């Protein structure tokens, strides 16, 4: 056969392979091996740019390419873009690639869904969102999206946190601002080596940050909040404009003055409500009595509905509206509460705060919009009272885990300043449990369980008591305890305690078949019926970050189990006691007059502990885990 033919075929094949390689985009095999280790997601490219055109207008652009390595990263494959009158979407595009980088599909306009920002629970909002998902499941694969949004109002500017969570690797990420030469862009950097790159051009200036080749991190137990551990840049304007309002947030005082302007004139109560305030407070002697009675009135005559219309994200509905309609969001209800107290001659303030269990602390030296919630502060030299106005059931003065122990911005015009909400110490967070049980010869346990929780330890029970139906409570209890084959025959709840430290008692009657294991003449019993610690900590070669116990608590358990007649102890667990910086644990067992007793105490200390103490922590948890599962062996001695 002609040699030129072979040469031609060879050249054709080489050309075909070269074409396939040249047309491939983001093949998985091009990812550096170091970025695949411990990763569920690799950010191949993540570019954010903001073109500021004035104190009230900007264009936001984002282009990102994510490789989804497995199902754990599936949430990052979907696109969700919110918009409203202040955020107008100009363009959205997207592409799907397989593992080899072959383009499989592009986003078409008809593929993008449009939805309301309502959460389905009486939410009133003009916010909407665009949503898209390729619904591709052949891992690994890659998605690419690009969006452009016009920002009409610059009260908030985006932040940059390339490694946004554990098991995420970053190949390339950048963050850029283009601003007029006279525009003051404020920023604060965390864990960023060096300074941003600044370039001057005619009438404009660009400030940019970039990060390359960051391996994935695994999340450590009891570590500081994630955003305190990774590279992060916060940005904020100096002068700004939104919704026709102008302000300056160089200082918290300036930020507070802007908020005061939004609230101005919105604390006027209807005449009938003013009369009601005087009736409710007539004869009350103390300031605290008046606060409590007016707070309970507000709870009983209003309900929470999130309202985000226009400036409603920051500006409250007026007090008259809330009084007449009997609903409002956190801003409106807090403003209404302040108006009620004002009518009673008590000075109170709204306070901006970040609610939730994560990212709760304000970056105090960087005035900016870091808040998502509003509460009320009634200051006093001796007895400052905090009020959560969105709950119809929480006690006056109690913040709980949602808003407790963090900084808030008290809004008082040019006197606005950061204040700290109450922290609940170990002595306030207490759980005591009493179990009176009997065991029959078939291994069935019948138990009456009384559990009393105070402070932060009652938060979950408060949600159960006031948020679930009886059927839902029963369902929860059926799946709550880690004991075999049990049924709940009855249950009930009661509230007590003081306003500032509430308490809830739970009463449960349950039956557990085969609780004890029977082997011949022996009964094997685990006396710790309900309080066994289920958490074990893994050993690591080296702990990177300090250990954080956000709050402390005190727990105690007394268990009494009447055993069937004719049994004696063959093996009794030894008492265990351990104490270190993390807390104290003690458990002991006894058998007297046919009744097994178990006394258990576990106190945890709050605080920050050095990473080098992690091995001690693992040992502590392992000791508790094993001691909580101690078994007692009874042997039958008589018929």
Residue 119 is predicted with a pLDDT of 56
Q: Please give the Cα distance from 246 to 265 (Å, whole number).
A: 17
**Secondary structure letter of residue 202 according to DSSP:** T
Phi-psi region of 378 (alpha: psi -120 to 50; beta: other; left: phi over 0): beta
Burial of 265 (0-12, 13-18, 19+ CB in 10 A): exposed
Residue 500 is predicted with a pLDDT of 87
Q: Please give the Cα distance from 406 to 424 (Å, whole number).
A: 11
Structure tokens at 474: 């029963």
Q: Please give the Cα distance from 442 to 585 (Å, whole number).
A: 33
Q: Please give the Cα distance from 265 to 270 (Å, whole number).
A: 13
Q: Residue 340 — φ and ψ, nearest 5°?
A: -60, -45
Confidence grade of residue 118 (pLDDT, cut at 50, 70, 90) = low
Q: Please give the Cα distance from 211 to 160 (Å, whole number).
A: 11
In the chain, domain spans: 28-245, 256-420, 427-636
SS (H, E, C) 66-85: EEECCHHHHHHHCEEEEEEC
Confidence grade of residue 360 (pLDDT, cut at 50, 70, 90) = confident
The CATH architecture annotation of domain 28-245 reads: Sandwich (2.60)
Is a pLDDT exceeding 50 seen at residue 4? no
- Computed on alpha carbons and rounded to an integer, the radius of gyration of the chain in Å comes to 31
Element (H, E) at 410: strand 407-410
Phi-psi region of 340 (alpha: psi -120 to 50; beta: other; left: phi over 0): alpha
Is a pLDDT exceeding 90 seen at residue 22? no
Topology of domain 427-636, CATH: Jelly Rolls (2.60.120)
Residue 538 is predicted with a pLDDT of 81
Tens-place pLDDT, residues 405-449: 999 999 999 999 999 999 999 999 999 999 999 999 899 999 999
Do residues 411 and 349 lie in contact, with contact meaning Cβ atoms separated by under 8 Å? Answer: yes
Q: What is the DSSP string of 221-242?
A: TTPPPGGGTS-EEEEEESEEEE
Is a pLDDT exceeding 50 seen at residue 19? no
Tens-place pLDDT, residues 165-223: 999 999 999 999 999 999 999 999 999 999 999 999 999 999 999 999 999 999 999 99
Q: Please give the Cα distance from 536 to 617 (Å, whole number).
A: 10
Is a pLDDT exceeding 90 seen at residue 607? yes
CB half-sphere exposure, 296, CA atoms < 13 A: 9
CA 397 from chain centre, in angstroms, equals 22
Structure tokens at 463: 């949600």
Confidence grade of residue 624 (pLDDT, cut at 50, 70, 90) = very high
Please name which of 2, 50, 414, 314 lies closest in space to residue 208, comparing C-alpha atoms. Answer: 50
Instruction: Mention every residue, 6+ apart, whose C-beta is less than 8 A from residue 258.
Output: 245, 247, 248, 249
> Which pairs from 337-342 meet CB under 8 Å and 24+ separation?
337/294, 337/295, 337/298, 337/376, 337/387, 337/389, 338/267, 338/376, 339/267, 339/268, 339/269, 340/269, 340/273, 340/277, 340/294, 340/297, 340/298, 341/290, 341/291, 341/294, 341/376, 341/378, 342/267
Structure tokens at 290: 């008046």
Is a pLDDT exceeding 70 seen at residue 121? no
Is a pLDDT exceeding 50 seen at residue 16? no
**Secondary structure letter of residue 366 according to DSSP:** S
Instruction: Mention every residue, 6+ apart, whose C-beta is less than 8 A from residue 563.
Output: 439, 523, 525, 591, 594, 595, 596, 634
**Secondary structure letter of residue 254 according to DSSP:** H
CATH classification (class only), 256-420: alpha beta
Confidence grade of residue 310 (pLDDT, cut at 50, 70, 90) = low
Residue 13 is predicted with a pLDDT of 35
Q: Residue 462 — φ and ψ, nearest 5°?
A: -60, -40
Is a pLDDT exceeding 60 seen at residue 363? yes
Average pLDDT, the chain: 92
Q: What is the DSSP string of 289-316?
A: HHHHHHHHHHHHT-EE--EESGGGGTSP
Element (H, E) at 5: helix 3-23
Q: Please give the Cα distance from 325 to 291 (Å, whole number).
A: 22
Is a pLDDT exceeding 80 seen at residue 309? no
Neighbouring C-beta atoms of residue 271, cutoff 10 Å: 7
Q: Please give the Cα distance from 581 to 190 (Å, whole number).
A: 30
Confidence grade of residue 484 (pLDDT, cut at 50, 70, 90) = confident
Is a pLDDT exceeding 80 seen at residue 463? yes
Confidence grade of residue 15 (pLDDT, cut at 50, 70, 90) = very low
Residue 540 is predicted with a pLDDT of 74
Place of tokens 């055993």: 563
Residue 123 is predicted with a pLDDT of 57
Phi-psi region of 427 (alpha: psi -120 to 50; beta: other; left: phi over 0): alpha
Place of tokens 């006093």: 380
Give the torsion sign (CA, 120, 117, 372, 40): positive
């Amino acid at each position: 056969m002609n040699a030129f033919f072979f040469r031609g075929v060879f050249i054709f094949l080489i050309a075909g392979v070269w074409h396939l390689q040249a047309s491939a985009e983001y093949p998985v095999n091009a990812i550096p091996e170091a970025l695949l280790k411990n990763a569920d997601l690799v950010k191949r490219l993540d570019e954010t740019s903001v073109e500021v055109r004035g104190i009230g207008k900007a264009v936001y652009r984002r282009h990102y390419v994510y490789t989804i390595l497995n199902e754990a990263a599936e949430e990052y494959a979907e696109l969700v873009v919110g918009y409203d009158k202040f955020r107008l979407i100009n363009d959205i595009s997207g592409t799907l690639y397989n593992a080899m980088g072959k383009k499989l599909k592009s986003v078409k306009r008809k593929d993008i869904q449009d939805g309301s920002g309502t959460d389905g629970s009486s939410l009133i909002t003009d916010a909407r969102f665009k949503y898209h998902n390729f619904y591709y499941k052949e891992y690994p694969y890659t998605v690419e999206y690009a969006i452009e949004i016009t920002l009409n109002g610059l009260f908030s500017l985006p932040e940059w946190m390339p490694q946004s969570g554990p098991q995420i690797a970053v190949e390339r990420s950048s963050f850029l601002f283009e601003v007029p030469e006279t525009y003051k862009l404020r920023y604060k950097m965390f864990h960023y080596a060096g300074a941003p790159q600044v370039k001057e051009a005619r009438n404009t200036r660009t400030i940019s940050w970039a990060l390359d080749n960051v391996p994935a991190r695994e999340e450590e137990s009891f570590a500081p909040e994630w955003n305190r551990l990774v590279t992060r840049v916060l940005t904020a304007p100096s002068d700004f404009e939104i919704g026709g309002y102008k302000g300056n947030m160089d200082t918290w005082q300036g930020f507070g003055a802007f908020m005061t302007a939004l609230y101005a004139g919105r604390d006027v109560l209807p005449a009938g409500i003013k009369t009601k305030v005087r009736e409710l407070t007539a004869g009350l002697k103390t300031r605290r009595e008046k606060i409590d009675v007016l707070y309970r009135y507000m709870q009983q005559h209003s309900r929470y509905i999130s309202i985000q219309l226009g400036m409603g994200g920051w500006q409250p509905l007026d007090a008259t509206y809330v009084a007449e309609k009997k609903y409002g969001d956190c801003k409106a209800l807090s403003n209404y509460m302040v108006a009620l107290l004002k009518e009673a001659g008590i000075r109170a303030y709204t306070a901006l705060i970040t609610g939730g269990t994560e990212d709760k602390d304000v970056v105090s030296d960087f005035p900016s919009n870091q808040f998502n919630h509003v509460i009320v502060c009634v200051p006093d030299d001796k007895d400052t009272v905090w009020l959560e106005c969105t709950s119809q059931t929480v006690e006056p003065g109690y913040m709980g885990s949602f808003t407790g122990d963090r900084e808030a911005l008290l809004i008082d015009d040019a006197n606005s300043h950061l204040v700290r909400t109450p922290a609940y110490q170990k002595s306030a967070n207490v759980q005591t449990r009493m179990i009176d049980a009997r065991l029959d010869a078939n291994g069935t346990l019948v138990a009456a369980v009384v559990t009393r929780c105070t402070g932060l330890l009652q938060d979950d029970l408060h949600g159960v008591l006031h948020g679930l139906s009886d059927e839902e409570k029963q369902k929860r209890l059926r799946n709550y305890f880690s004991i075999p084959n049990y049924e709940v025959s009855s249950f009930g709840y009661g509230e007590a305690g003081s306003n500032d430290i509430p308490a809830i008692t739970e009463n449960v009657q349950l039956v557990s078949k085969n609780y004890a294991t029977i082997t011949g003449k022996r009964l094997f019993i685990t006396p710790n019926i309900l309080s066994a610690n289920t958490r074990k900590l893994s050993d690591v070669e080296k702990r990177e970050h300090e250990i954080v116990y956000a709050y402390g608590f005190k727990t105690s358990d007394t268990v009494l189990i009447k055993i069937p007649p004719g049994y004696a102890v063959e093996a009794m667990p030894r008492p265990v006691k351990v104490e270190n910086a993390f807390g104290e644990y003690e458990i002991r067992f006894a058998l007297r007059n046919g009744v097994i007793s178990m006394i258990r105490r576990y106190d945890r200390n709050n605080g920050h502990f050095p990473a080098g103490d992690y091995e001690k922590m693992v040992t502590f948890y392992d000791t508790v885990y094993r001691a909580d599962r101690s078994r007692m062996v009874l042997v039958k001695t008589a018929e």
